[in-house]
Structure 1
Amino acid sequence: MKKLAFDTGWTISRLRAPSTAPSLPAAIPAAVPGNVHLDLLSSRLITDPYLDINEISQDWIGRSAWRYRVAFDWNDEEADRVDLSCLGLDTAARLELNGTLLGEGGNMHRSYRFDIREHLKEGPNELIVDFDSAYAHGEAVRSALGSAADIPANYPGPGNLIRKMACNFGWDWGPSVITSGIWKPIAVESWSKARIAIVRPEITLQGSDGVARLRIEIEWATEGTDSAALVMSIGGKRSEVRIAQGETHALVECRIDNPEIWWPHGLGDQPLYDLDLQLLGSDGAALDRWQRRVGFRSVRLDTAPDDIGSAFTLVVNDVPIFARGANWIPEDCFLPRVTRERYRERIAQARDANMNILRVWGGGIYETDTFYEECDAAGVMVWQDFLFACAAYPEEEPVYGEVEAEAREAITRLMPHPSLVLWNGNNENIWGYFDWGWQDVLANRPWGSGYYLDLLPKLVAEIDPTRPYWPGSPYSGSMDIAPNADEHGCKHIWDVWNEVGYETYRNYIPRFCSEFGWQAPPTYATLTESVREKNRAPASPGVLHHQKATSGNDKLIKGLEGWFPAPGSFDDWLFVTQLNQARAISLGVDHMRSHRPTCMGAIVWQLNDCWPVTSWAAIDGAGRKKPLWYALRNSYAPHLLTIQPRGDGLAAIAVNDATLFWRVPFTIERFDFNCTLLARHSVWRILCDRFENAEISIPKDVATPGNSEREFLRARLGDTEAWWFFEKDMKLQYPEPRFELQAEQIADGVAVTITAQSFLRDLCLFADRISPNADVDDMLVNLMPGESKTFRIKGVSKEAWDDADLSSVVRTANQVAGAARPR
C-alpha cells in the first residue's frame, strides 16, 4: 500500500457567515490536521480566543461555513484501488474531487473512506472539503427528527443531536468555541489485490499462557482466484492462516508461554509486546501491514451482591484495585495542537500524583491513539465513556446509525490498549432521566436508554469481549434502583460543592465514586496571562468570564464559611480558594479510601483543563499544578494514614495499596499551638497487609482536647503522617506564622529551606509568582517549631528569588484564618 498524505498546500475560505462577521481574505493558508480557528489565529486574523472575552466576539467562526481546498498532482499508477482516507472530519463535511461529489460526513468521531480511482486524472487535481456550520447541521438533523428532537439537554446548542464533541458548545468549565476542519490526517491510499480493513485483537491471559487472538476483516480490490496469507508475529511466535479469494473474515492467534504481565503502575511493570500482522499475496509479496504495541493482562468488573448491596471493583490480573484517579476532559478546545509531548506531560503528572486511572469523560472525544499509548507505557488505567453526556439523545435515524458506526470503530481502534479497562455507556444521562425531571418532558419518547442498555453492550460483547461494560456513570446496576445509590454501582457526589459544605463527603460511603469535585481559580501566572485587566478582581469582567459555572464565584465564597474569612484582596482570594479546594478533595479522598473495601474507587473531577478557567481541575489550562495536585499526591499515596471519625471517637486508618505488607511503629500525639505535648499514645508495631486497611483506635485521653480551638493531633506510622484539627480554621487560634528562610542556587533552580519558629499549617510556595515557568516540588506542608522543609524550585534563579515579593510567594493557612482574627 502506498500513501500520499495531504498535509501541506491547503487553504481555507469562508462560504457563508453571519452579517456581523468581519471581512476576510479570499484564501487563507491552512494546516492539516488542524481547524479553522487555528488557521485564522496563525494568519493573525483573530486574536487568541482564550484571552480576555475574545470568545464572545469570535462566535461568528462557529456559525460560518468553510471550504478547505488543496491542489495536487497525480501520476496514474497500476493500483487496483485508490482511496481517500479521512480519519477525522469536524463535523458536517461534503467532499468533492475535480468537481465530482465523493460523499458526505456528519460525525466527528468516526473516519471515512472513499473510492476515488475513477475520479482522479493525470496531472493536476483539486480536492475540496466543505464544512457547514455545526449549528446549521444541528438544525438539519432537528428537522429530520421532528418531535424526536424535543428532548432535554443541560447545555445550549445541538450537542445531543449531532455527533460532535459536546463540550465544544460550552460547559461549566469550557468556552463555546465551535470548531470546523480536518482535525485528523487525510491521505490518498493506493493498493492492489487486498488490504487489511479491520483488526480486532483480543489479548488475554489463560492460565500461564498469553493469547493474542486477531479477528481480521480484509477487503478485496478485484475479483479473481488469488488467495492471501495473514501472518502474525508476537513475542517470538509466528502464526499464519490462508484466505481464499472472496473470503473477508479470518481468525489468527498465537499463544505465548509465561508472558510478562502488564500491571497498573505501583503493582508491577508495564511490558509491551510488538504485534505485527502482514497480509501477503499468493506470490509472497507484502500487500498490507498492521502493527501495534500490546500488553497481556486480565480485567473484570466485580459487581457481586453482598451484605451492603453490590460491589463495584475493578479486578486486574485477579487483584482487586482501589481506583485512585481523575476525570479527563479534552486537553484543548483546539484538539490538533495537543502534541505527544503534551499528552506525555499530563499523564506523567497524573502518575506522579499517584493516580492509577483516568476516566475519559463522555462529553469530549475518543482520545487519539497517542493518549492511550502513553497510558499503556505509564501504567495508567483508562475508563472510557462512550460519547453521551448530560442530555437525552435521539434513538431515531439519522442519529442511531451514526452512533453505531462510531461505536464500532472506537471499540475496534482502542481495544489493543492494555490500559483500557472499562467501557461506560454515558455520563449522567440515566441519572438525568430519573432525577432531573426528564420523564415529564420526554412523554415516553426515546432518550438514549436503547444505546446504554442494548446497542452498546451488544457491540462490546461482539467486538471486545475481553473487557467489562457498564451502562452509565452514575448507575446502580438496575433501572429498578436509584441510579446514584451509595450501596450499588458508581456514584457522583455533587450536592457537595453545589449545595453543602465538604464535610458532607463523610455522610456517604459509595461503592465507587466516579465524580466529585470542588472549584478553584487557576494559578496566578495562568490567570494573569489570560486576563489582561489592570484591576483584576474575582468579579471583574475578564476574571468572571473565565468562570463558567452557574454562580461559581458565589459558591467559592460560600464554601469558605467556617474555614476562612471572606478574602479582602485578589491575592487572598486566589490563595484561600485554592487551599480550600485542596482541603475539600483531600477530605473526600481520605474518607473514601478509609472505607476500603466497601468503597473501591475515587475518581475526582477533574485532572486537566482545556483553557485558562476557574474550575475543578488539579492542573490548569496552561499545565500548571494547583495546590490540589499536591493534595492528591498525598491522598492517593500507596501508603496513606488518615484520622477519621469512628463511632463516638476517632481512629487512625492505615491504608495499604502497595504490594508488600506495611509493618512499622505507630505514634499519635496531642499538642497545643505552642507545640507543647499534651498526650501521647504509641504502638510498637502496626501490621497492615497489602491491599488492606488497618484501623487503629485512638485512646480517649489522646483524642479528647482540653481546648478544641488550640489543640491538634499528629499521628505517625513510620514515615507517613496524619493530622487532625478539632475545629474549622476560623475557630482555631493559630499562632502568627514565624519562620526563617534560606535559599541557595542548585543546578536547575533554587533550593529554599524554611525553618519554622512557630507552628505552620499548609505552608505553600507559589513559584509561578516569581517566574511563569517555575515549578515547586511540594506544597501544603505542616511544620512544628524547629522543623525544616527544603523546597526545590525549578526554573528560578537565586537572583530572581532574592528580588521577589515573598509576601505573595510564601503563604500559610495561619495568615488568613485564626491568626487573622481579632484577639
Structure 2
Amino acid sequence: MSLRHLPLHDGWTLVADGPVPVELPAEGVPATVPGCVHTDLLAAGLIDDPYVDDNETRLGWIGRTDWTYRTAFDWSEDGHTSTDLCFDGLDTVATVLLNGTGIGSTANQHRSHRFPVRPLLREGTNTLDVRFTAPYTYAEALRERLGDRPGAYAEPYAFIRKTACNFGWDWGPTLVTSGIWRPVALESWSGHRIAAVKVLGDLDEAGVPRLDVTLDVERDGLAAVSGSVEVLGACLVFVASQDEDRLSFTLSVPDAEVWWPHSHGEQPLYDVTVHLGEDTWRGRTGFRGVTLEREAFRISVNGEPVFVRGVNWIPDDCFPARLTRQRLSDRLDQALAANANLIRVWGGGLYESDDFYELCDEKGLLVWQDFPFACAAYPEEQPLYDEVTAEVRENLVRLAPHPSLVLWCGNNENLEGHADWGWQERLDGRTWGYGYYHELLPALCAETDPTRPYWPGSPYSGSPELPPQDPTRGTVHLWDVWNRVDYRHYADTAHRFVAEFGFQGPPAYATLRRAVSGTLTPDAPLLAHHQKAEDGDAKLLRGLGDHLPRPGDFDDWHWLTQLNQARAVAFGIRHFRSHTPYCTGAIVWQLNDCWPVVSWAAVDGDGRRKPLWYALRRVYADRLMAVRDGSLHLVNDASGPWEGTLRLTRRSLDGTVLAEEATAVTTAARGITRVPLPASVAAPGDGTREVLVAELDGVRTVEFYEEDTRLALPPAEYDVTVTQGDGTGAGYRVAVTARTLLRELALFPDRLDAAAEVDDMLVTLLPGESAVFHVTGAVLEDPEALGGAPVLRCVNDVVGR
C-alpha cells in the first residue's frame, strides 16, 4: 500500500491568547494555511494594510501576542501502521496539540517538523491546535538568559531562528510574524518510507556527469525492501536490508549534457526517480562542476570562470506565504532581463522556497546562498546551537539537487562586525558566531554537500587573521559610497570581488501614490515613514553632489534622485568590470523590495522597474565600454570575439564633430581590451560644451567631460509622436526626435496609469537622432500626455534653468 498524504489546509481559525487592541470574533478569525497572523487579520478587515502610510507603527502588538491556530478534520482507519503529522514550516515558537494532547514543540522557522501521531488519532472528527508563543517573548527571554549581543538594530533577532528582517531593517518594516507558513499534512505509511533523498549532480574527474544519491530510510518493521534509482535511462536497482537506514549510490550519466549559467550556455535538467518499495521520490537536477579560487574569489562552472554580474535578493514579501511561483518567476525574469547571472540570497532573510531554486535552475541564474545570519553577534549556546545544526542539515539536503546553487556562505557582515564595529569589547568573551562560521557550517557542508564551495561570510578575505575588507582578496562590501562619500570614490581602488554596494532611490511614482496618502512632497511625514535608512533623506540629497542640481519640487526630487541612483551604481559597475579579470564579480544591493519604500532596489515593492534597472541592463550587458584613466576599456563577456571599427568622436553639444578617430579593434571572448584615447578626443577644448562618443559594432557610449551642473546643456527641444502600437489598443509607440542634445531621456507612463510600463529609458540623443519607446500594460485616456512632463523627462529640464 502506497503512502497516503492528506493535506490539512482547510477550516482553520485564529484566536488570540490574551487581550488585543482589536475586537476578534468569539468563534475566531477565519485563517488561511499556509499563511500568518498579519495576513489573516488583514483579510478579516481587522487591521489596515501595513504597507500603506504609517499603519505599520500600530501593529507591533501582533508580534508580542500569543496566538492559536485551530482546525478539525475527519480521519478513518486507512490500513497503515504509521501516521505522521508533517509541518513544512512553523513560524516560529509553537506547541502542537492533537485532540488536546501535546505532541511536540518547535522554535525554528527555517526547518520542518514531523510528529508520529497514529495512537492519538480518532475515528471521525479530530482537533488540531498550534499554539504560538510571541516571538518577542521567546527571543527576549533567551537574550536575558544568555546575555545581550551587539547588532545593527536594537531587536532580538539573533536569539530566535527566524527571518531576521521581520524585526525591521534599513529598507524594511517591523512586522514580526507568527503562523503556519508552509504546508501541513498527515502522512500514513507502513513498513518503511523514504525519509530523505539527497541528490548531487556533479562531474567526475574526466568531466563526465555523475549522480550521487543518498537515501535515508525510516522503518516501523525489520523487513528488507528493494528499490531503484533512475535518471536519463540509467537505472540502479538495490535492496535495503533490514538494518540499513542510509544508502548511498553513484551513477555515471554519460549521455547527460552539462548545465551552464545562462551567460555561458544551456540549462538541461533531468528527472530523477527513487523507488523504495511502494514509496517514490521524484526530483530534478542538472550536472555541472563548481570551483572557487579563494584569494581571487573567482567562481568557475565546468572549468570556465564566470564574471559575476549579480544582484542581492531579500524576501520579496514580509509575508512569504503570499509569494506565488509566478511572482517569483516574474521577479527572477527581471533579474535575467537586466543581464544578471547570479542571485545572492541574503542572510537576513531565509532559505527560499523550492519554486525559487527550481526557477533559477530553469533560467540559468546562479545562486549564492547565505546561511540565515546577518548583522549581529549570534549566540552559540543551546537551544540555538542544535536548532542551527538541524536547519542546516535539512536545507543542505533539500537544496542539493539544484545546479543553480553554486556557493554556501556563512553569514552577512558578522565577521566584519566582530572585527570593525566595536563588538569585541561589548561581547566581553561571550560567543558571537565564530563556531558556526568557521567550524559547524564548514563541517556540515563538507559532510553533506562536498560538491559546492563554502565561504565563511561576506565580507571576508579568506582567513580569520586578515581584515575582512581587504580589497586584494576575497569579498568586500562598499558602503562608504552612499553613507559618507561621493560615488566617484568607487574608482579609488581595484577590488577582487564586490559582494555588496549600492545607492538609494525612491520607488516608482505609482508605487508611492498607492502607499502614501495625501500630498506627495519630499518631506511629507508619511513618505518619511517609507524611508528606513538612517539619515536617508539627507543622504539622497547630499548624494546629488555636483552631479545634478538640487530639486525644486517633488517631481524634480523624484526624477533626480532616481536618476542619481542609476548613475551611481552604473559608475561603480563600469569601474569594477574595467578591472576584469583582476575583479571577478560584482553583486549590486539590491534587486527587489518587500514593500513600498525608498531603498537601494532596482525593482520596487510593487514590482515596478526603477531607472536603476534600465541602467543595470546596459552596464551588465555582455559587451560594455568604460572610460577610465584616459583609456576606453572594451569589456567582452560574450562567448565570441568583439571586433570591428571603433569610432571615437569629440563633438560640441550641438552635434558638430570637432575631432574624429577610427581604429580596428578585436577583443577576445571573455576578454578585455584597453584602448588609450587619442589626444584629439581625450581632452576637450571646452568641457562644458563638448561630449565624447564611442561606437563599436552597435554598442555606443556617450561620455561628458564635466558634471551636469557645469554643462551648458541647451533647453530641451524635440518632436514627439504618439501612436497606437498595433491598432488594437495594446500599447503605444512614442517616437522622440531630438532638435537639441537630450541628456538621458526617460519616460514614466505609470504616472498616467499604474499598470503602464516602458521598454527603455535613460537614452541620450544627439541633435537629429531619434528614439522609440514602447509603452504597454494600459489603455490611456490621454496618450498624448506621454510626450510631456512629468511623464517625459530629461536632464536638460533641470540643468541651466
Q: TM-score, normalised by structure 2?
A: 0.98
Residue in 1 aligned with 2:90? 89
1:703 aligned onto 2:647: no
- Where structure 2 has 5 or more consecutive residues not aligned to the other structure, the ranges are none
Alignment of 1:178-577 (within 5 A): 178-206=176-204, 207-222=206-221, 224=222, 226-280=223-277, 286=278, 288-303=279-294, 310-533=295-518, 535-577=519-561
Amino acid at match of 2:743: R
1:140 deviates by 2.8
Match of 1:689 in 2: 668
Verify: 1:588 aligned to 2:567, yes or no: no
Q: CA deviation at 1:798?
A: 6.2
If the length of structure 1 is used for normalisation, what is the TM-score? 0.95
SS of 1:271's equivalent? Answer: coil
Partner of 1:159: 157
Residue 257 of structure 2 aligns to a residue in which SS? coil
What is the alpha-carbon distance in structure 2 between the residues aligned to residue 133 and residue 41 of structure 1?
19
- Per-residue CA deviation, residues 185-218 of structure 1 (Å, 9 max, x unaligned), is 0000000111111211121112242111101111
CA contact (8 A) 1:715 1:721 kept: yes
What is the DSSP-based 3-state SS (H/G/I as helix, E as strand, rest coil) of the residue aligned with 1:384? strand
Is the CA contact (8 Å cut-off) linking 2:370 and 2:410 kept in structure 1? yes
Look up the match of 2:798. 816
Change (3 A) 1:112 1:63: same
Q: Give the fraction of aligned pairs with identical amino acids, expressed as a percent.
A: 48
Are residue 61 (structure 1) and residue 62 (structure 2) matched?
A: yes
2-structure distance, mates of 1:58, 1:580: 34
Question: Per the alignment, in what secondary structure is the counterpart of residue 736 of structure 2?
Answer: strand
Q: Distance in 2 between matches of 1:524 and 1:167?
A: 25
Deviation of 1:22 (Å): 2.0
1:599 pairs with 2:586 = no
State how far apart, in whole Å, the 1-side matches of 2:462 and 2:85 are: 43
Q: Tell me whether 1:118 sits opposite 2:119 in the alignment.
A: yes
Residue 675 (structure 1) aligned with residue 675 (structure 2): no
CA contact (8 A) 1:167 1:174 kept: yes
Cα distance change on mapping 1:811 and 1:804 into 2, 3 Å: closer
SS at match of 1:290: strand
Partners of 1:491 and 1:514 within 8 A in 2: yes
Once the two structures are TM-superposed, the CA of residue 253 in structure 1 deviates from its matched residue by: 2.5
Q: Alpha-carbon deviation of 1:252? A: 2.1
Name the residue aligned to 1:307. Answer: none
Please state whether the residue corresponding to 2:271 is helix, strand or coil. Answer: strand
Partner of 1:725: 704
**CA distance in 1: counterparts of 2:398 and 2:487, whole angstroms:** 40
Match of 2:643 among 655, 663, 677: 663
Tell me how far apart the structure 2 counterparts of residues 624 and 129 of structure 1 sit (CA, whole Å).
37
CA–CA distance in 1 between the matches of 2:176 and 2:224?
A: 48
Where does residue 718 of structure 2 map in the other structure? Answer: 739
SS in 2 for 1:16: coil
Shift of 1:799: 4.6
Q: CA deviation at 1:246?
A: 2.3
Give distance in 2, aligned partners of 1:617 and 1:229: 52
Helix, strand or coil at the partner of 1:89: coil
Report what 2:25 is aligned to: 25
The structure-2 alpha-carbon separation of the partners of 1:803 and 1:151, relative to structure 1 and needing over 3 Å to count, comes to: closer
Say whether the 8 Å CA contact 2:721–2:787 is kept in structure 1: no
Q: Which amino acid aligns with 2:419?
A: F
Cα distance in structure 1, aligned partners of 2:249 and 2:428: 49
Q: Is the 8 A contact 1:232 1:253 kept in 2?
A: no
1:283-330 deviation digits (Å, cap 9, x = unpaired): xxx1x1111111011111112xxxxxx311000011100000110000
Describe the SS at the equivalent of 2:159. Answer: coil
Give, in whole Å, the separation in 2 of the partners of 1:32 and 1:495: 43
Give me the whole-angstrom Cα distance separating, in 2, the residues matched to 1:587 and 1:135.
42
Contact kept, 8 Å, 2:785 with 2:791, in 1: the verdict is no
Q: Determine if contact 1:229/1:241 at 8 Å carries over to the other structure.
A: yes
CA contact (8 A) 1:50 1:530 kept: yes
Matched residue, 2:784: 802
Q: Is the 8 A contact 1:141 1:398 kept in 2?
A: no
The secondary structure found in structure 2 opposite 1:151 is coil
Residues 112-134 of structure 1 show CA distances to partners (whole Å, capped at 9, x for unaligned) of 00000111111111000011111
1:666-708 per-residue CA deviation (whole Å, 9 max, x = no partner) reads 011111111111111110x211011111111111221111111
Tell me the CA shift for residue 804 of structure 1. 5.7
- In the alignment of these two chains, the number of paired residues is 794
User: 1:134 aligned to 2:135?
Assistant: yes
Residues 749 and 798 in structure 1, CA contact (< 8 A), matched pair in contact too: no
Amino acid at match of 1:741: V
Q: Give the equivalent residue in structure 2 for 1:15.
A: 17
In 2, distance between residues paired with 1:102 and 1:732? 72
Shift of residue 446, structure 1, vs aligned partner: 1.2
CA separation in 2, counterparts of 1:241 and 1:510? 51
Q: Distance in 2 between matches of 1:448 and 1:253?
A: 35
Deviation per residue, 1:70-102 (Å, 9 max, x gap): 001110222111000001000100100011000
* 2: CA distance, partners of 1:538 / 1:98: 56
Superposition deviation, residue 158 in structure 1: 1.3
User: What residue identity is the alignment partner of 2:24?
Assistant: L
Matching of residue 782 in structure 1 with residue 746 in structure 2: no
Structure-1 separation of matches of 2:622 and 2:284: 28
Separation (CA, whole Å) in 2 of partners of 1:800 and 1:177: 40
| Alpha-carbon shift at residue 17 of structure 1 (Å) | 4.1
Distance in 1 (CA, whole Å) between partners of 2:354 and 2:147 is: 33
Equivalence for 2:170: 172
Counterpart of 2:246, as a letter, is H
Per-residue CA distance 1:523-557 (angstroms, 9 max, x = gap): 00000000011x22122111000000000000000
Cα displacement (A) at 1:258 = 3.9
Query: Any idea what SS the aligned residue of 2:360 has?
Result: helix
Q: Is the 8 A contact 1:668 1:682 kept in 2?
A: yes
**1:798-819 CA deviation, whole Å, 9 max, x = no partner?**
65312568211100011112x3
Match of 1:344, SS state, is: helix
C-alpha distance in structure 1 between counterparts of 2:576 and 2:425, whole Å: 35
The ranges of structure 1 where at least 4 consecutive aligned residues each deviate by more than 4 angstroms after the TM superposition are: none
Q: Does the 8 A contact of 1:154 with 1:390 survive in 2?
A: yes
Q: Once superposed, what is the RMSD of the aligned Cα atoms?
A: 1.1
Q: Distance in 2 between matches of 1:227 and 1:519?
A: 61
Correspondence for 1:768: 750
User: 1:605 touches 1:617 (CA, 8 Å); kept in 2?
Assistant: yes
DSSP 3-state at the match of 1:182: coil
Answer yes or no: is the 8 Å Cα contact 1:17–1:63 preserved in 2.
no
Equivalent of residue 639 in structure 1, options 610, 623, 626? 623
**DSSP 3-state at the match of 1:453:** helix
Segments of 5+ residues of structure 1 without an aligned counterpart are: 281-285, 304-309
Q: CA deviation digits over 1:123-179, x for unaligned, max 9? A: 111000011111001123224xx3x43210111221001001000000000000011
- The equivalent of 1:306 in structure 2 is none
Structure 2 SS opposite 1:150: coil
CA contact (8 A) 2:734 2:787 kept: no
2:609 to 605, 625, 629: 625
Distance (whole Å) between structure 2 residues aligned to residue 87 and residue 258 of structure 1:
35
